[in-house]
Amino acid sequence: MMFLKSSTGKSLNDHIIKLSPLIHYDTNTPENVIPLVKDLYALDMDLTKDEEINSIIACFNAWKNGRIYNQPIEFKVERNSDLLFQQGDKWYQDGMNRWVSWEDSERPVN
């Protein structure tokens, strides 16, 4: 990331789209999502139980529906656990929209 930024002079957002849920809650997180995030914190790497798999599916759905943050390229965490997004997309849909716009800009015009 540092190489791309220094060698091109462009923003990282011009080169990278990162789509991944950020398992974090803060004062802006909907109250009904916080128990899910806490469940996700407690999961082991080896998921074998149906309820664990269901938590991952619920995470995906909450992330896709804008209820869990997207993991940005660069961010800071304040003392109260709120996030300051510096580079990257805060929401899944923002990243997907950028991805689609990149694909659309590369298609040949007939």
DSSP 28-82: TS-GGGHHHHHHHHH--SS--SHHHHHHHHHHHHHHHTTSS-B--SEEEE-TTS-
Could you state, in order of their start, the residue ranges of all structural domains in the chain? 15-106
Which pair of tokens denotes residue 34? Answer: 């916080």
Mean pLDDT of the chain: 88
pLDDT tens figures, 59-109: 999 999 999 999 998 899 999 999 999 889 999 999 999 999 887 776 666
Displacement of CA 12 from its chain's centroid (Å): 15
Is the pTM for the entire model greater than 0.95? no
What's at 43, amino acid-wise? L
Task: Compute the distance between CA of residue 23 and CA of residue 17 in angstroms, rounded to an integer.
Answer: 18
